[in-house]
A and B are shown apart, each in its own frame.
Chain A
Amino acid sequence: MILIAAVAMFDSRASALPDPTGKFPGGLGPGFYPFWSAAMIAGAAVVVIYRWFVTADIGEGVFARREAWTAPLKIAVPMIVAVAFIQWIGFYFVTGLYMGFFAKFIGRYRWIWVIVIAILFPAIIYFAFEKGFRVFLPKSKLYEQGFPL
């Protein structure tokens, strides 16, 4: 947070202070608002850090238990991989693979059900969004060669 605040304050430092010369309407330049918002973060961060030092915290650490970081990772990693692949293989293939992956490795489903889920869900989404709401979701690289998805 302090880093974000420092970068924002540095970026908007040029017009951070009120300018009574009439250069800006009302005396405030474009940097005033972001600079002082960032200053607010920095000031509050100092207080939070101070309180963290002076308060004796004998509780367990943030990721002390193994499940505390493995459980979110099981969700986060496939999610990042899926999003990274959308622009290459398109949304519908990603949905199928992503849903199938969860069904197989988290749900421990049999392969037949994995295949059903991997086909059914993209199909439902295609008809609901692409055909129903006319929301055109990202297609694969093959789309430009005439492939429908």
Chain B
Amino acid sequence: MDILNGFTSTLGSLAGGFGTALQPFNLLLLTIGCFLGLVIGVLPGLGGTSGVAILLPITVFIANTGPGGSTSAVIFLAGIYWGALFGGVITSILFNIPGEPWSVVLLFDGFPLAKKLGKPALALSSSFFASFIGAFIATVLFTFFARALADVALAFGPAELFAVFIMSFATLIGLGSESPAKSVMMIGFGLLLAAVGFDTITGAPRLTFGRIEILSGIGFVPVTIGLFGMGEILASAEEQGIGFVERLSAKVGLKDIVETLGELRKRIWTVVITAVIGFWFGVLPGHGATAGSFLGYGLARQYSKNKENFGKGEITGIMAPQAAADASAVGSLVPMVALGVPGSPTSAVIMAGLFIWGLQPGPLLFIDHPDFVWGLTASIYLGHLITFTMCLLAVPLLAKIMHAPYAIITPFIVIISIIGSYSLNNSMFDVFITIAFGFVGYWLRKMKYPLAPLVVAIVLGDSTERELRKALIASGGSPLIFVGSPLAATLMILAIILLLVPVIRNVRERRARSSSAEPAA
């Protein structure tokens, strides 16, 4: 009976959310956000996370002056994310250039299907349909799971919250694709940056070196715009230059859609299963759409009867990663809304927006700001529908964006980034921070340091310290509080297990190497 009540209550809240998201102003912002996201996704020099970061300051004005307040702002930002998820597909399939990190995997089968097999429209519509279905399944899971998780999280005290944060960091280290030592270093760097400025408990200045400008801390927005916006521009200047060799064109017609639906019917379970797995993978902190897309591709290839066709234009190799990528992106919003922990770099930037708009991410959002949460949830359904429709109708137009001259797009992005970092506090110091972190971001990319742990640590740094100290104040300074409750103890044990994953992996690799070397000796 409780389950039925919960189900109907969630459906009622979702209906209210649709009422909010369908208000003309919110719908307009969602459409603009999705379109901007598509443009950002198509442009190879700019990623979805960068786009969200650069446009974050604009949302302050939307939140302060718009009729929908912070709900309109988050709908706009999330729209950019959904648009970018679809946009990267177009360049990967038509130009063999990934517009986004999560569309890299489409180069394996998307471009071959478009070029060698001469079916660009089928490749595009396959990825659009898979994205839409993956996102829809994930959004249904989001609707019911986020609320349930938030209900559980309401019982969390400082010790449990601290344990959740520690587990988030442990996930980034234990399950990250980069070297664990580099992830640890990036987390330390992020926590250190978050510690700059006044200590919130004692009021003492920390790491300010007598500079008044940084007494209130180093702003998250200028740092993120620098790391992602400027850093990506510098990196892409080196990696891609301005010349594009391959250029295909395509228009998705009714015939292509019918053919795609036929192909989709044959692979529907693969799409559904990779979407569900992608969603749960996205819920883990630090694993957004990029990791999800590779997971989806790997799973589909592993269990496919046509393994030999992968890499040569296999449609499953397009549908599975796309479904998983979109599902992971939706899943990455679950911990942000329910626990106050970002699930991916992009959701970390959106979460920073929540702080700026005066909201506290976490389970209380469902109680204090139900319009916000359910408006956001409904906008995920609508955002994907809008983007899906735009993609089917406007591929040739979107592909033309790639022809926008480099000599105009690049300086324009730099200018918009400067405006974004300046406008929050009217501070040139923030612009200098952006430029400095642009070089930091470029260098970290070049040296293969992961940016996700850094961004998550900057966002969670303050909260982690606050919960640590609140827990210790409550316990009179005894660290045993962190294993005092079954939940906190379980989370801490899970964190330790996750931290041991790379060590175990390393030992197994060494053993495998030594055992393979022995026969030769």
**B184 in the interface (beta carbon within 8 A):** yes
Say yes or no: A34-B415 contact (C-beta < 8 A), given A12-B207, A86-B428: no
Is A64 engaged at the interface, CB distance under 8 Å to the other chain?
no
Give complex CA distance A40, B179 in Å.
15
Taking a contact as CB atoms closer than 8 A, the residue among B209, B426, B447, B472 that contacts A26 in the complex is B472
B residues near A51, Cβ cutoff 8 Å:
179, 181
Q: Is A76 an interface residue (CB 8 A)?
A: yes
Write out the residue numbers on chain A whose beta carbons fall within 8 Å of the beta carbon of B192.
4-5, 8, 34, 37-38, 41
Residues in chain A near residue B115, CB distance under 8 A: none
Cross-chain contact A48 with B179 (CB below 8 angstroms): yes
* Set of chain A residues within 8 Å of B406, measured between Cβ atoms: 106-107
Q: How far is the CA of A27 from the CA of B201 in the complex (A)?
A: 12
Contact with A along B447-482 (1 / 0, CB 8 A): 100000000000001000100111111011100000
Shortest distance between the CB of B133 and any CB in chain A (Å) = 37
B-facing residues in A39-69 (Cβ within 8 Å):
39-41, 43-45, 47-48, 51, 62, 67-69
Whole-angstrom CA separation of A34 from B468 in the bound complex = 13
Most A Cβ at <10 Å: residue of B189, B468, B475 = B189
Count of chain A to chain B residue pairs whose CB atoms are closer than 8 Å in the complex = 169
Q: Which of B187, B442, B472 is most buried by chain A, counting CB atoms within 10 A of its CB?
A: B472
Q: How far is the CA of A69 from the CA of B239 in the complex (A)?
A: 11
The answer to whether B414 touches A31 (Cβ under 8 A) is no
Query: Are the CB atoms of B407 and A102 closer together than 8 Å?
Result: yes
B298 at the interface (CB under 8 A from A): no
Q: Are A26 and B410 in contact (CB under 8 A)?
A: no
Asked whether any CB of chain B lies closer than 8 Å to the CB of A3, the reply is: no
A125 to B470, CA, bound (A): 46
Residues of A within 8 A of B426 (CB): 136
For A137, the chain B residues whose CB sits under 8 A away are: 419, 422-423
**Residue contact A47 to B181, C-beta cutoff 8 Å:** yes
Tell whether A37 pairs with B188 under 8 Å between CB atoms, given A11-B207, A121-B415.
yes
Number of interface residues of B (CB under 8 A): 62
Report if A117-B472 is in contact (Cβ < 8 Å); known contacts: A26-B477, A40-B187, A47-B181. Answer: no
Minimum Cβ distance to chain A for residue B160 (Å): 17
Q: Does A131 contact B (CB under 8 A)?
A: no
> Is B408 in contact with chain A by the CB < 8 A criterion?
yes
Judging by beta carbons under 8 Å apart, are B432 and A83 in contact? yes
Residues of chain A lying within 8 A (CB to CB) of residue B185 = 1, 40-41, 44-45, 48
| Given A12-B207, A99-B408, residue A33 in contact with residue B233 (CB < 8 A) | no
Q: Report the bound CA distance from A38 to B465 in whole Å.
A: 14
Q: Given that A30-B199, A51-B179, A136-B426 are known contacts, is A71 also in contact with B241, CB under 8 Å in the complex?
A: yes
Closest to A98 in B: B411
A25 sits at the interface (CB 8 A): yes
Which of A20, A80, A101, A135 has the most C-beta atoms of chain B within 10 angstroms of its own C-beta?
A135
Measured in the bound complex, the distance between the Cα atoms of B35 and A91 in whole Å is: 28
Q: How far does the Cβ of B482 sit from chain A's closest Cβ, in whole Å?
A: 13
A110 within 8 Å of B (CB atoms):
no
Q: Is B58 an interface residue (CB 8 A)?
A: yes
Is B238 interfacial (CB 8 A cutoff)? Answer: yes
Q: Which residues of B contact A68 (CB under 8 A)?
A: 238
Nearest-Cβ distance from residue A59 to partner chain B, whole angstroms: 11
Contact check, B238 vs A72: say whether CB atoms are below 8 A apart: yes
Contact partner of B191 (CB less than 8 A), chosen from A33, A78, A106, A133, is A33
Show 6 residue pairs from A and B whose CB-CB distance is below 8 angstroms, ordered by the A residue: A11-B206, A34-B196, A39-B188, A71-B237, A135-B423, A136-B426
18 extra interface residue pairs, beta carbon distance < 8 Å, beyond A12-B207, A72-B442: A8-B207, A11-B209, A20-B477, A27-B477, A37-B192, A39-B188, A44-B188, A47-B184, A48-B185, A72-B235, A75-B237, A75-B410, A79-B438, A95-B415, A103-B408, A125-B419, A138-B422, A138-B428
By a beta-carbon cutoff of 8 Å, the part of chain B in contact with chain A is 58, 61, 179, 181-182, 184-185, 187-189, 191-192, 195-196, 199, 201-202, 204, 206-207, 209, 230, 233-235, 237-238, 241, 405-408, 410-412, 414-415, 418-419, 422-423, 426, 428, 431-432, 435, 438-439, 442, 446-447, 461, 465, 468-473, 475-477
